[in-house]
Copies of this chain bind each other. A is one copy, B any other.
Amino acid sequence: MTVTETTDTRTTDTCAGPPQGNRRPDGEDTYTISEVAALTGLTAHTLRWYERIGLMPHIDRSHTGQRRYSNRDLDWLALVGKLRLTGMPVADMVRYAELVRAGDHTYTERFELLKETREDVLARIAELQGTLAVLDRKISFYADAGRALASERTR
């Protein structure tokens, strides 16, 4: 593969921000489900469920069949967490995961999907800023009203 970066096709998309501590170095990066739960804030239930619905790649297993997560899996979960914050439905994230699994030929599709998501996020931010303006108006109204009531009550 040629696309530079220290990644592979499966998760060519791991750049979800700061290291978020407690990671083990690559090579000895195996985490149990409860460790990942602690690291991500998700429950073990949710992690298994994500896998079941195809939002996670198939996770490595120990010789006894227990899940062993890698740093790459954590990266993916970090991305999923970010996308979840945008309100993206799980089904759409699954779609994205499928594209990633499908390989290089889905690059442009992924690219489009990311750009759409970006637009959605911008729109959400704008909405929230509108709401903030309303809240600020109300808050200053209540501040004034509070003062009015206070001075009145000093009868």
Interface residues of A (CB under 8 A from B): 1-5, 12-13, 15-17, 79, 82-83, 85-86, 104, 107-108, 110-111, 114-115, 117-118, 121-122, 124-125, 127-139, 141-146, 148-149, 152, 154-155
Contacts and interface: CB of A to CB of B under 8 A. Distances in A.
Instruction: Classify the interface of chain A: helix, strand, loop or mixed.
Output: helix
Chain copies in the assembled complex: 2
B149 A3 contact: yes
Nearest to A1: B154
Contacts of A16: 134
B137 A15 contact: yes
B114 A154 contact: no
A115 to B, nearest CB: 6
